[in-house]
Structure 1
Amino acid sequence: MNRKERRAQARTGGAPGQAAAGGNDPQLAQALAAHSSGNLAAAQQGYQAVLQRQPDNSQALHNLGLLAAQAGEYPAAIELVQRALKVKPRNAAAQRDLGKILYAAGQLQPAAEALESAVKLAPRDAEALALLGACRTALGEGEAGERACRKALKLAPEHPDVVLQLANAQAWQQKFDAAIATYRKLLKQQPDHAQALHNLARCYYNQAMAQVGQGEMEPAGESLRLALEIDASFADAWSNLGSLLNQLGRPDEAEAACRRALELNPQDVDARANLALILEHASRLDDALAEAEAGLEQAPEHPWLRLAAAKVERRQGRGDAALQRFSGLEAPAEGSLPLRLDWHFEQGRLFDRQGEPDAAMAAFHAGNRLARQLAEQRFSAPGSRPRGITRQRMAALSARITPERVANWTPITAPSAEDSPVFLVGFPRSGTTLLHHVLESHPRLRVAEEVEALLSAETALVGDHKGADDYSGWLDRLESLDEEAAQAARQAYLETLTAGLPDKPQVHTGEEARTVDKLPLNILRLGEIHRLYPQAKIILALRHPCDVCLSAYMQNFDLNDAMAHFTDLEETGRFYAETMTLYRRVREVLPLDVHALRYEDLIDDFDGTVGQLLDFLELDWDERVRDFAETARKRQRIDTPSYSQVTEGLYDRARYRWERYRDHLAPVIAQVRPFLPAFGYPEV
């Protein structure tokens, strides 16, 4: 809370200090009467006249101090009330008013000391307790602030200032649900309470920022919308809603939110930076650069604006200009963790493009150190899924996929290959986004990107669960699956997979587009896929294991349990080895219909490699598959780290890139070496 808001909440006017209505001093009595009636000029003259006769009249000093505070003359007000207390140090009202004036003047520690004295003298003074609570909260002592406010609330359960200060103390401690309920309680009594409305909107906003930090994007969006329902002119909320909607894959709404923020505050460079980044992600590069440049005219060293401009210039092939955006600015040492992350990763990409692998790797190391911090924050947040659940599930599945157990699976009717989705899997960064757009360009295929549809099948059979231990319940059900349960699981899976996918027009009668489930790490769930769709065709995307691991380490992923493996090079190699070990084990036990396709072959012989893939899918060649880059450019948003690459068309700069980084990759090479010959790559 800023000083202006503190002053608004700590009004120092009101009834003057009473002492038997002036006692036997008619002049003091007249001044008190004038003060009570609102004739402040007459009251001031009266108090001054009393003090000319009686310089130590504590009541006149006290009340003259209140008048000075009302006029914003805080130093004079403090001096006058302190003089009054020298005369009568046990005057609880004067101690309380001194604390109130000090609080309004921003002198928080002296204010707290005065209010503590007031409460000791008058333990049942609800106003003093509430002010003490506000003061402790402003000092960063939210728990002490809340205790004081609760004592005040017992004495004055319906007093609006007491309820307000309690809500503020709860909000400061990030007890958002409690604070929101307390603000709502006050607003139920006084629906137009301006300060409560203002603070409630900020409480929702701060709740949203905390939710973003924990990776809870959908709840954060709802919190921001609630803030804007209360205060539609809250520019920061509009700006951050735009950034959030962009992360949620809703670019049109994101752009509209940022433009609304700029309508409210054209000088909001943060909103302009968000808008520039939204436009860059949508591949509207000229528009993005125009917004970034407009913002940089106002704030030449704004890091987000420089970052947005650098991203655009890198994609335009102007690496030198992009690197110049970082010139003269050190990577931010404090502030937004997402900014600091993106800053390092963008520098790494630029150094990589410029052929400087050592500088690039230094930047990626710095970015991944921060990514590990972010992962620790998210996995330690209340209600988050436990770290390591991916590996635990891999181990559980590996133990279940044995010839003996598979032989005991209950028999169920299998959908035909034509009635089954096609599954596009592979280790992340193996070229699945490129394949996605090649397949999407074919009129007989439509691709669902990164949809966790198998989780819906799990939920349909065993309920929603988050822990690895509950995974065994899903595997139990799969092994003993009957026709009814299988149909329920498939229906839940398909509803989630196809939700939001546009229909493609039929090529001719009866030829509807088949759905491709593109989720790389479904390679870990091929056993489950085979149980539900044993005739399904599976496309396995392969790429040189060293390139895959290097590329994964170079990405600023949205961190979940699986992606968190890529924040450490050795861990990346280990995760690759464990993933491919599980894949090969499942292949040995189950009769999967797999077509493996290497990224390098796709680059070397596009037509031949894609032709073989279409033959596997029993589809005819279609010239439109060559236009995959145009297919990508037409999409509003691509929700993978390859969004800026797939729109370029075919290029070979990433093929065998690992060789330039060989000196850095010893931890990876040791892990992936056993898989090189199996996938057709030479020994290293």
Structure 2
Amino acid sequence: MTDHFAPSSADLTARMLAAYQRGDIATVLALGEPVAALGDIDSTALLLLGAAQQSSHRLDEAMATFRRLVQRNPTVAEYWNNLAVVARQLGDMAVAEDALRRAVALAPQEAQIHFNLGLLYAQQQRWLQAREALLDAVALVPAFIDARLQAAHACHACGDHRGEQEMLADAANWPPQPMEQAILLATMLSAQGEQATAFEVLERGILPENEDARITQWRVAALRASMFERGNQIDLAEAELGRLPLHQLEATLPESPVLATAAWQAHAAVAAQRGDLDHSAGLYERMLGLSDGPATRATAAFGLAGVRSKQGRHEDALRAAEIAHAAQWEIASAIVPELTVEGSQPLSMANHRVSHVEYDRWSTLSVPRSLDSPVFVVGFPRSGTTLLEQMLDAHPEFRSMDERDFVYELIQRMQQAGQTYPQDLGQLTQHEADQLRSIYMAMSRKVVPDLGTQRLVDKNPLNMLCLPMITRLYPEANIILCLRHPCDVLLSCYMLPFRAPPFMVLCSSLKRLAEGYVQAFEQWYQHMEVFAPRVLEWRYESVVNRFDEHVTRLGQFLGVDDATPMTRFAEHATAKGFISTPSYAQVTQGIHGRSVNRWHAYREHFEPVLPILRPMLERLGYEA
């Protein structure tokens, strides 16, 4: 008598597994499908059948198969994960999320499941949740490069610059990436100022071996052009754009809107730098017309606002800026919803104050002398801080590190240690203060490892809100407060993009900006009275009108014998290449007065906020 194996037998499963391992998907399907409806089919055979259906793009069938698996084995995380992957491919995000949450609950130590959940959230642009899930994956497997890359992207989208930098800390040593990931990685590295590494990542990227290769190569050219433009290397940017003729891009629009927007943006930015404003505006308008998401709309609208402003079309510039802010509000609402309610305070650090009484109770510490302390350049954003930074960096005795949030990082370190800022600053021990200074210098030397004996320049405008921390660690430091007419400052902030979600909210209206400006300076002047630090006021309008006189004054404040190298800042900035702030192009143009009283052309729109600003206008000596 011949033995007959039941369809659910180990033999059937073994044959399906062998076929699957040798890539014979047709045999897996042929073996599994006839018996799939039988109730006693082995779960492993059912898993293999679902995987074969998925790889054959028979996703509805794969979904049904994996549903059977999880109904039969509801405690197996792998099966829920498989169901989620197929559901995501089908666009059923609700099923995918539910399945992944179940999988995470069943197997919280499985990094791949956290990674898949993070990818799902990222696809939906739920960036806060994506960041949390992807960071969880990295915490479980620190060498999980795909997770580090996607976690960095989520941090980037959330405005978590520190998290992004930590995720990409060793990116220069990563193996070559598929070009899609390489483009994402290079984009983030470039935004951090790691231009050389970004170009290397693109150079080593692995192109797809299909019809997508041509489109991908063009996307790389568009990114390289943008990176060169961002580094003020316009000739090199134009050379890259020569590989992206606009008439060819029109044909690719239906199959790759991502390419079209990237190429239009690069062409538009270069055209604006070359002075071809009509052409630039037309390209930004094309980007706006495509409207494939709030981030693209914001980029295009801010670009258009800048061009229209240069053309003297002020109402058109404001309308474009309104579109940009509406898009950024959409982004911020998903990331910092608590800041989008009436009465919120985006500049939360301005609420932290130290009184005379509290300062009098501070313990005495041994501190660095002035020459051994950083030079802090502060002021409300768009007050001329980048110009001053480049002047200092042009002098051989100083070295800037671009814009960093290291002082804010020290405050977070205090809070993570269970201390309250600024209340517990006065109780810091000598060891704790020395440790915070060591952390600060370690972070700084990662950015400028060749600092040597040069004096560090820490330019971060909103460090003006951190004067208690600066004073506690570096009370002898030279601090330079950059000033500019408040209305020019507010207009400039309103017309330019900022990545940090709280600043997106702050800059969303002139009223919010005016309130934030006054709040920041009220705190500053209170702390000036309390701490009496060494501060030089650097007034933009006076510098423009009497440049040499103010360079001499700056040199005297810093104890520099010859301040002449500072006058060559434009040449220095051009040679330096990447500058992280929106002023990257302006600082290469030398001193000019085109930005003085620019707000007069928009005076009608400032009338409602002048009463908010008037007390500070009077205190600073500016006319309304």
Q: What TM-score do you get using the length of structure 2 for normalisation?
A: 0.76
Distance 2:198 2:541 in 1: 36
Counterpart check, 1:426 vs 2:397 = no
Counterpart check, 1:642 vs 2:592 = no
Distance change (3 Å), C-alpha of 1:353 and 1:617: same
Q: Which residue identity is paired with 2:551?
A: V
Identity of aligned residues (%): 26
Q: Which residue identity is paired with 2:422?
A: L
For residue 330 of structure 2, what is the aligned residue in structure 1? 373
For residue 583 of structure 1, what is the aligned residue in structure 2? 524
Counterpart check, 1:303 vs 2:270 = no
Distance 1:227 1:497 in 2: 19
Greater Cα shift, 647-656 or 214-223: 214-223
Distance 1:218 1:613 in 2: 32
CA contact (8 A) 1:127 1:152 kept: no
The alpha carbon displacement at 1:98 in A equals 9.8
CA contact (8 A) 1:142 1:172 kept: no
Unaligned runs of 5+ in 2: 7-11, 122-132, 254-259
Which digits, 9 at most, give the CA deviation of each residue in 1:341-378, with x for residues without a partner?
21111111111111111111111111122222323333
Distance change (3 Å), C-alpha of 1:632 and 1:502: farther
Distance change (3 Å), C-alpha of 1:480 and 1:346: same
CA contact (8 A) 1:448 1:516 kept: yes
For residue 210 of structure 1, what is the aligned residue in structure 2? 154
CA contact (8 A) 2:374 2:457 kept: yes
Q: 2:350 aligns with which of 371, 394, 400?
A: 394
Distance change (3 Å), C-alpha of 1:503 and 1:428: same
For residue 282 of structure 1, what is the aligned residue in structure 2? 231
For residue 426 of structure 2, what is the aligned residue in structure 1? 479
Distance change (3 Å), C-alpha of 1:224 and 1:676: closer
DSSP-derived class of the 1:639 partner: coil
Q: Which residue identity is paired with 1:299?
A: L
Distance 1:497 1:128 in 2: 47
For residue 241 of structure 1, what is the aligned residue in structure 2? 185
Distance change (3 Å), C-alpha of 1:393 and 1:232: closer
Counterpart check, 1:294 vs 2:238 = no
Distance 1:126 1:474 in 2: 43
Bigger Rg, which one:
1
Q: Which residue identity is paired with 2:448?
A: L
CA contact (8 A) 1:170 1:178 kept: no
DSSP-derived class of the 1:588 partner: helix
Distance 1:256 1:678 in 2: 50
Q: Which residue identity is paired with 2:266?
A: A
Which digits, 9 at most, give the CA deviation of each residue in 1:513-569, with x for residues without a partner?
433332211211223333333333322111000011111112211215456422332
Q: Which residue identity is paired with 1:501?
A: V
Distance 1:173 1:520 in 2: 36
5 Å-filtered alignment, 1:213-224, equals: 213-216=157-160
DSSP-derived class of the 1:534 partner: coil
CA contact (8 A) 1:535 1:593 kept: yes
Distance 2:81 2:391 in 1: 65
Which digits, 9 at most, give the CA deviation of each residue in 1:301-355, with x for residues without a partner?
51111111111121122212322323555443224x4333211111111111111
Q: 1:597 aligns with which of 526, 533, 538?
A: 538
Q: Which residue identity is paired with 2:186?
A: G
CA contact (8 A) 2:445 2:451 kept: no
Q: Which residue identity is paired with 2:352?
A: A
For residue 221 of structure 2, what is the aligned residue in structure 1? 272
Q: Which has the higher contact order (CA 8 A, sep 6+)?
A: 2
DSSP-derived class of the 1:579 partner: helix
Q: Which residue identity is paired with 2:191?
A: Q
DSSP-derived class of the 2:481 partner: strand
For residue 460 of structure 2, what is the aligned residue in structure 1? 519
Distance change (3 Å), C-alpha of 1:539 and 1:563: farther
Distance 2:304 2:316 in 1: 9
For residue 142 of structure 1, what is the aligned residue in structure 2? 96
5 Å-filtered alignment, 1:276-675, equals: 276-296=225-245, 298-300=248-250, 302-326=260-284, 328-335=286-293, 337-379=294-336, 391-397=347-353, 400-402=354-356, 404-413=357-366, 415-455=368-408, 457-458=410-411, 462=414, 464=416, 473-481=420-428, 483-501=430-448, 513-559=454-500, 561=502, 564-675=505-616
Q: Which residue identity is paired with 2:325?
A: N
Distance 2:66 2:135 in 1: 29
CA contact (8 A) 2:229 2:270 kept: yes
Distance change (3 Å), C-alpha of 1:167 and 1:554: closer
CA contact (8 A) 1:245 1:253 kept: yes
Distance change (3 Å), C-alpha of 1:388 and 1:252: farther
CA contact (8 A) 1:236 1:271 kept: no
The alpha carbon displacement at 1:497 in A equals 4.0
Counterpart check, 1:250 vs 2:188 = no
Distance 1:513 1:180 in 2: 37
Q: Which residue identity is paired with 2:26?
A: Q
Q: Which residue identity is paired with 1:342?
A: T
Distance 1:331 1:503 in 2: 47
Output the aligned Cα RMSD.
Answer: 4.8
CA contact (8 A) 1:150 1:166 kept: yes
Distance 1:457 1:208 in 2: 21
Q: Which residue identity is paired with 1:554?
A: M
Distance change (3 Å), C-alpha of 1:662 and 1:104: same
For residue 126 of structure 2, what is the aligned residue in structure 1? none
Q: Which residue identity is paired with 1:294?
A: R
Distance 1:150 1:440 in 2: 50
For residue 56 of structure 1, what is the aligned residue in structure 2? none
Report how many aligned residue pairs link the two structures: 576
Which digits, 9 at most, give the CA deviation of each residue in 1:53-110, with x for residues without a partner?
xxxxxxxxxxxxxxx99399x9xx9xxx8xx89xx98677699799888766655446
Distance 1:121 1:423 in 2: 64
CA contact (8 A) 2:352 2:421 kept: no
Q: Which residue identity is paired with 1:431?
A: G
Distance change (3 Å), C-alpha of 1:134 and 1:311: closer
Q: Which residue identity is paired with 1:441?
A: A
Distance 1:144 1:21 in 2: 37
CA contact (8 A) 1:345 1:556 kept: yes
DSSP-derived class of the 1:637 partner: coil
The alpha carbon displacement at 1:232 in A equals 3.7
Which digits, 9 at most, give the CA deviation of each residue in 1:244-272, with x for residues without a partner?
11012100011121233376645412222
